[in-house]
Structure 1
């Protein structure tokens, strides 16, 4: 490491300056991890005049339409949205230049919202991120999203120094120092540049056998490849989309697109309307299937909305997957809409010619023998007529897009189907590398 390990410390210097300075001192005075440099960034509502601030509000707003003098007059929501955008851009530039190796934020609700937004938008997955927050003991999903931000509860409010807060801040400083030092060392040990193709696979409990076989087969037929499995729980799908967008994945075996069912019907595991679009935008090798599109997810059985649980007209099928997860069988109408959404998202930029000079790099493989572990003969969600609506709609919607749709008479968890899917992806990868 030719440059010192550098940590970016950010907070609202107009309200948290003493606590930020204590945290900075706690990091730099420790000799455990060697020499560590700390850059302090001001993300306060009003600009700080402290000479201890390395990156001032004016630095963040140098390219902003709003003059610095007006920032403090903005309402709190507008200020957070405005400053977080510019902070993210500034942080991204620091990272791209290799000038920072870890980031630590401290704050209350507003400071946490601003700091974590900047972290999410400005830094990739894998870069050390830690947030000390008064909000960290509750639902932190709005702050973390699909990223790897670490949240540490401050226990007491970040409003004046005391022994409890100082202990928390010292621990946070030690934690980010350790992470940043390790990350910095890895940059020299494992310089950027892949050694093998990186493949993302989507999985659910009811498609685990297929994913296991496909993963093992890919590792055997593509030496040196890295396989990343994502649990299709909403956050898993968003995480995969993010890594694809960050170019941390090179190919995708999207066997389990169940999150689209939750998005269409209103289940609790939706990954949002943009699921499947990141690979479409990049046009990377991809095989898509319809694993677990026979189900919509809810929590405990009692939590199923009345509009479903009380609907006797459609004779809804339900299955208690475990004490905290209840599944509902999709209808033909819902399957048609799921297919339309999948087709729209995977064909958004599909053309007859792709980036590798051949037909589009997406293929669709349909397991007509059943799309999940419980959608096979003798199991509660077995309904070939409804599945056929899903298959036919996909075929119809993808006509003329250049995306080949292939039917396979086996069920999704049949080892032969999984091997076929893996080899189909391998062929796409190799055709685009030649």
Structure 2
């Protein structure tokens, strides 16, 4: 088996011991390590493969000019720009098979940009003192990024942080051996949803879309699922998008931590990808079960899904605000867009007899959406619940019509 080349990214002036340890670990696992220095002020304690000067030169500047910016944030942001471009070039030239970076907040900030410069499917690991932290906004996270908490790694090398680095290095070498370049042999259709206890249209639609020669990719709208959908849509990976769970848009508007970024519900339209949209789960906002709900939500009807996540209903005023935001987002669409409004409900828990049943409040949202629609968006009301077979059948009617008209193309996209 060919030895896989793993690029190690870090500040070799301050983390030389750690980077050398990682280099030895990758070699011990049968990998071929290369080191890129992204330090700014100091010099590395060993010979690196790609220096800070190489990084600066890639974006037509110098390390001296970067230092002259006189601000650590500006300097590292500029260095991140150079590192990202150089890493992208190295991969396109076939010189690396994966990357691993380490750092605190400064190194992580840079590493997230570097990881995003690589295509989906290329192993990318970040070992960080802030892994899994809410300091990291979702829009900075690549959909296939792996992170490990760098326990005990703030200052100096020790047995605890060595254990983490060994595992991380073994993981990236193993991933590089296992990974294959992503080749799409069927056109992909993206779909957003929650689990079947809340939304279940994918059960009806998946086999039907497969019969038509498409492969369905379902994204779980609990934050990072929507982030992955938006990232891949921005790369024009999809033949069509069925965006039927807008939970993350709700959460962003009402400041829930279960968010996927400010651009949720935008990249599909901006990139001209045909999309059918439905307001699945728009009547609830998510909160962590393990936190006390905000005072204004405390006495509202709610659904406790598990020990991690609960959902609380929105009122009429909030639904009007949400409708305005959704209308603003989909009005940006450059491709064919249709909004389906299932009048009998948008979530399994709002059916008649269930704990969130409130048709009067829900119809405030529908009416607001109809009043705000723009000429480039088609709106259609359907007298059913979003989880009814009738809804899925109507989706297929629209889908088939768009295939016949050449709006949805039956060919794979290998961007």
- What range is the shorter-chain TM-score in? 0.7 to 0.9
Q: Choose from 185, 197, 201 the match for 1:210.
A: 201
Q: Choose from 156, 178, 186 the match for 1:196.
A: 186
1:5 aligns with 2:4: yes
Map Cα deviations across residues 207-264 of structure 1 (whole Å, 9 max, x no partner).
Answer: 4322222223222x323x2221111112221221011112333321111112222222
CA–CA distance in structure 2, aligned partners of residues 292 and 161 of structure 1: 47
Map Cα deviations across residues 184-220 of structure 1 (whole Å, 9 max, x no partner).
Answer: xx23xxxx5521111111112454322222223222x
1:76 aligns with 2:51: no
CA–CA distance in structure 2, aligned partners of residues 14 and 242 of structure 1: 33
1:89 aligns with 2:88: no
Shift of 1:14: 0.4
Determine the structure 2 residue equivalent to 1:20.
Answer: 19
Q: Choose from 207, 215, 234 the match for 1:226.
A: 215
Shift of 1:415: 1.7
1:274 aligns with 2:249: no
> What is the correspondence of 1:35-434 to structure 2 with a 5 Å cutoff?
36-48=31-43, 52-62=47-57, 64=59, 67-72=62-67, 74-119=70-115, 121-136=116-131, 141-142=136-137, 145=141, 147-157=143-153, 159-162=155-158, 164-183=160-179, 186-187=180-181, 193-205=183-195, 206-219=197-210, 221-223=211-213, 225-300=214-289, 303-309=292-298, 316-350=300-334, 360-401=335-376, 403-430=377-404, 431-432=406-407, 433=409
Of 77-86 and 420-429, the range deviating more from structure 2: 420-429
- CA distance change for structure 1 residues 50 and 163 in 2, over 3 Å: closer, same or farther? closer
- CA distance change for structure 1 residues 89 and 413 in 2, over 3 Å: closer, same or farther? same
Of 78-87 and 250-259, the range deviating more from structure 2: 78-87
Instruction: Give the aligned length.
Output: 405
What is the SS of the residue equivalent to 1:104?
A: strand
Shift of 1:128: 0.5
Shift of 1:141: 4.8
What is the SS of the residue equivalent to 1:14?
A: coil
Map Cα deviations across residues 58-113 of structure 1 (whole Å, 9 max, x no partner).
Answer: 22212557641243463332322221222122222223333321101133342233
Shift of 1:23: 2.0
CA–CA distance in structure 2, aligned partners of residues 348 and 394 of structure 1: 15
Shift of 1:276: 0.9
CA–CA distance in structure 1, aligned partners of residues 302 and 383 of structure 2: 26
Map Cα deviations across residues 110-150 of structure 1 (whole Å, 9 max, x no partner).
Answer: 2233223321x312332201223344486685587353322
CA–CA distance in structure 2, aligned partners of residues 54 and 154 of structure 1: 24
- CA distance change for structure 1 residues 324 and 47 in 2, over 3 Å: closer, same or farther? closer
CA–CA distance in structure 2, aligned partners of residues 122 and 173 of structure 1: 20
- TM-score of the superposition, structure 1-length normalised? 0.83
Uncovered stretches (5+) of structure 2, i.e. residues with no partner: 411-415
- CA distance change for structure 1 residues 79 and 426 in 2, over 3 Å: closer, same or farther? farther
Kept in 2, the 8 Å contact 1:335–1:389? The answer is yes
CA–CA distance in structure 1, aligned partners of residues 240 and 146 of structure 2: 28
CA–CA distance in structure 2, aligned partners of residues 118 and 102 of structure 1: 11
Task: Let me know the Cα RMSD of the aligned residues.
Answer: 2.8
Determine the structure 2 residue equivalent to 1:353.
Answer: none
Shift of 1:321: 3.8
- TM-score of the superposition, structure 2-length normalised? 0.87
Shift of 1:338: 1.8
What is the SS of the residue equivalent to 2:189?
A: strand
Uncovered stretches (5+) of structure 1, i.e. residues with no partner: 311-315, 351-359
